[in-house]
Amino acid sequence: MLLAWLVAAPLQASSPIAGPLHSIGSETLASLMLRWGETLEARHPGVRLQLQASGSSTAPPALVAGTSRLGPMSRPMSESERAAFIAAHGYPPLAVPVAMDALAFFVHRDNPVEALSLAQLDAIFSDTRRCGGAAPLERWDELRPTLSGGISRYGRNSASGSHGVVRRLALCGGDFRLDVGELMGSAAVVAAVANDPRGIGYAGLGYLTPGVRALGLVGDDGGAVRPTAEAALAGDYPLSRPLYLYLNLAPGEPWPPLERAFVELVLSAEGQAIVEELGFVALPPGRLTEIRRRLGLEPGH
């Protein structure tokens, strides 16, 4: 009786787990955080998760200013963000990889284009074209003669990790075109593309809906890699990224019970099942054990 055992689990803890758990950060991770939070609350009824999610870049300021202790981020912290954290607290933040996400480019379900190369994406989305796009791509017929119409571009606001990852990996750090829509959420990007036959936009693979199709990426060898869980885990898909949970935890400080329960849940089989349910890529068990060991949480439950 796994469930009965799970419920009984808190009995073994010396003191029950309760209190508020603030989280400010990534919007991509928001649905995951919500579901983990729901599960944690079901397990420990005294816990209160309070979640704000408007983009990964909101996590470091919140951690630095101390407005939250958990910072979910869909990209690693940049050097300057780390430096700001260290300057404020005297020790580096603790990064916990919690899942993988493949960042996919979506087109409308009518669109027959199967895959694009990074250079083509650069030519579509960037006006500095540092990744080798020769000329800007303005129309779908420049990609496929049978198509027609100009390309409408949708993207995320600059606070989001998705924005940063696309900028770094697909645009080689260049500038987005000014006419790339900056929408406030991944769901909004997908909804906009699903309603616009000429649209293209990027969001985490977990946001795939039947209204859109995810594009494959053409590598240097000419073969296309589809954004799938396997490709992301194997590292074949270039736009895959680990999702992180950053914690404000001084080295040597014992884990606060609440944060510990949360991280343990996230790294458990149940937490990773939620990852899969929401369309993200779960971490393989070996990796989980390793992370738990590194964090000083006993391997296994």
Partner 1 sequence: MIDYSSPAVRLRQRWRQVRDRLATLLISACGIGVIVAVLAIGVFLVVAAWPLFSSPRVASEPATPGVEVAYPLEAPLPAGLEAWRRDQHLDALPYALSHAQPQALGGRLWLAEGHRLTILALDGEAPRRLARLPVVEPERRITALAALAGGRSLVVADDAGGLRRWTVEAAPPWLRLATEYRDRGPVIQALWTLPESRLFLARDAAGLSLFESLAGQRWRGEAPGGEALGFDAEGGLLWRDAGVVQRLAIDAPHAEISWRTLWLPQPYEGHAAPQQRWQSAGEGSLDEPKYGLAPLAWGTLKAAAYALLLAVPLALGAAFFSACYLPRRLRERIKPTLELMEALPGVVIGFVAGLVLAPFVERHLAGGLALIVLLPLVMLLAGGLWTRLPAAWRRCLPLGWAGLWLMPWLALWIALALWASPWLEAALFDGDLRGWLEASLGLGYDQRNALIVGLAMGFAVIPSIFALAEDALSGVPASLGEGAQALGATRWQTLWKVLLPAAGPGVFSAVMIGAGRAVGETMIVLMATGNTALMSVSPLEGMRSFAANLAIELPEAVPGGTHYRVLLFSALLLFLFTFAVNTLAELVRRRLKRRYRQLGAGR
Partner 2 sequence: MRRLRLPGRAGLPRGEGPWPWLAAGSLALSLLMLAALLLLLAGRGLGHFWPAPVELVTLDDGRQLAGQPVREERRQTLQGSPLRERLYRTGNRDLDGEAWRWVEVTSIARRERPDDWAVIERQRWGELIVRPLALEEAGRRLAEAPLWAAFAARLERVLSLRAERDALRREVIAPLARRLAAGHDDAEARARLTEAQARVGELQAAMTRDALVVESAAGERLTVPLESMLAAWRPNAMSPPEKLAAWGANLWHFLSEGPRAANTAGGVWPAIFGTVLMVLLMSALVTPFGVLAAVYLHEVAPQGRLTGWVRIAVRNLAGVPSIVYGVFGLGVFVYGIGGRLDDWLFADSLPSPTFGTGGLLWASLTLALLTLPVVIVATEEGLARIPAQQREAALALGATRAEMLRRVILPMALPAMLTGVILAIARAAGEVAPLMLVGVAKLAPQVPVDGDFPYLHLERKFMHLGYHVFDVGFHSGDVEAALPLVYATALLLVGVILVLNLTAILLRHHLRARHAALRSR
Instruction: Find the binder of partner 2 among 105, 106, 140, 202 (CB under 8 A).
Output: 140
Nearest 5°: CA angle at 5, between 3 and 253? 110
Residue 176's nearest CA partner among 199, 157, 191, 161 is 157
17 pairs with which residues across the strands? Answer: none
Q: CB atoms < 10 A from the CB of 205, how many? A: 22
Cα separation, 268 vs 297, whole angstroms: 11
Q: What is the CA radius of gyration of the chain?
A: 20
Binding string to partner 1 for residues 183 to 212, with x set by CB under 8 A, is what?
Answer: xx---x--xx--xx-xx-------------
- Minimum separation from the CB atom of position 128 to partner 2 (A): 28
Write down how long the chain is.
301
Stretch 64-83 residues interacting with partner 1 (CB under 8 A): 64-65, 75, 78-80
C-beta atoms surrounding 194 within 10 Å? 19
Which range binds partner 2 by CB under 8 A, 95-103, 145-153, 168-176, 293-301? Answer: 145-153
Tokens, residue 147: 């198509």
Residue numbers 115-154 binding partner 1 by CB under 8 A: 127-128, 130-131, 148-150, 152, 154
Binding flags for partner 2, 83-112, as an x/- string (CB under 8 A): ------x------------------xxxxx
The contact set with partner 1 (CB under 8 A) reads 52, 54-55, 57-58, 60-61, 64-65, 75, 78-80, 84, 127-128, 130-131, 148-150, 152, 154, 157-159, 163-164, 167-168, 172-176, 178-184, 188, 191-192, 195-196, 198-199
